[in-house]
Amino acid sequence: MTNILGDNDAAAQQNRQLLADHNVLAVDLMGSPGCGKTSILERVIQQLKGLTIRVIEGDVATANDAERIEAAGAEAFQINTGGMCHLNAPMVRRAMDKMDLAGTDLLLIENVGNLVCPAAFKLGAQYRFVVSSIPEGDDKPEKYPVAFRTSQGVILNKLDLIPHSPFDTEKFWDLCGQLQPHAVQFAISCTTGAGITELCQWLTEQHSQLTSA
C-alpha cells in the first residue's frame, strides 16, 4: 500500500507541474454518490463564462455524467475506472494528455462517488473540494474525517432542502472547521442557484492569482 501511494504521489507531482506550466487551475471534487457533483459542474459551466473549462469525469461505468457536462457546454474527458472506486494520478494524466492544456483555464475533476479511498489518492489538482449535501446528514465530517481533513474546500449542497430536514448547519460547519480550519466553505443549491455566484467568483480569483504569480 505504501508503494502504491508513493508511486501515485510521484505521478500527482508531475500532474501538478504540468498544470502549473500551462496556468491551469485544477479542482478535484470528491463526494458520495448523489451529493450533486455533476450538478455543481453543470451550474459552474453555465455561469462561469470568463474561463475555458474542461472536465474529467471519473465513473465506475457509463458516460452519463460526461454527456451532461458536454450538454452544459464544456469538453468532457471520461475515465471509466473499470470497477475501481477512486481516480488516481496516472488516470488523470492520461486524460490530461488528450486535452488542450494550453487552451484550458479551469480543469474540474469529478472523482468517483465515494468518500473513503479518493481521499488517499492525490491527483495533482491545486484544490480538493469535498461535497456533502443536506439529505446526507450533518455528521458526515465525523464519519469521514480524512475526506474533510485532506480537502482545501467544502461545498454543502442542496441548501433548498433545509426546511424539510433536521440538518444542523452550525454543527456541520463546526465539525468541518475542527478537521480543516483553513478550508474555504460554500453553501449552495443547484436547484435554486444559491451560492453558485460566490463559488464562480472564488474560482475566477484563484485562477487570476495563478496567472499573476
Give the footprint of Zn ion on this chain (CB under 5 A): 85-86, 117
162's contact among Mg ion, Zn ion, none, with CB below 5 to 8 A by partner kind, is none
Interface with Mg ion, residue 104, by CB under 5 A: no
The minimum distance between CB 156 and Mg ion, in angstroms, equals: 17
Nearer to Zn ion, 35 or 48 (CB): 35
Residue in the shown chain whose Cβ atom is closest to Zn ion: 117
- 85 is in the binding site of which of Mg ion, Zn ion, none (Cβ under 5 to 8 A by kind)? Zn ion
**How many whole angstroms separate alpha carbon 93 and alpha carbon 86?**
14
Q: Do 89 and 68 form a contact (C-beta atoms < 8 A)?
A: no
The CA distance from 171 to 99, in Å, is: 41
| Minimum gap (Å) between residue 66 Cβ and Mg ion | 9
- 184 contact, one of Zn ion, Mg ion, none, CB 5-8 Å limit per kind: none
Q: How far is the CB of 84 from Zn ion (least distance, A)?
A: 6
Find the shortest distance in angstroms from Cβ 64 to Mg ion.
8
Helix (H, G, I), strand (E, B) or coil at 138: coil
Partners of residue 57 on adjacent β-strands: 78, 110
- Within the chain, residue ranges assigned H as helices are 2-21, 37-47, 64-72, 89-97, 140-143, 145-149, 169-179, 196-212
Give just the sign of the alpha carbon dihedral 69, 74, 80, 83.
Answer: negative
8 Å CB contact between 130 and 115: yes
Query: Minimal distance in Å, beta carbon 197 to Mg ion?
Result: 22
**Is 32 a residue that touches Mg ion (CB under 5 A)?**
no
**Considering CB distances under 5 to 8 angstroms, the limit depending on partner class, which of Mg ion, Zn ion, none binds residue 207?**
none
> Which of Zn ion, Mg ion, none does residue 54 bind (CB under 5 to 8 Å by kind)?
none
Among 42, 65, 105, 136, binds Mg ion (CB under 5 A): 65
Binding segment toward Mg ion, per CB under 5 A, in 62-70, 73-81, 127-135, 173-181: 62-70
Angle at 171 between CA 85 and CA 41, to 5 degrees: 40
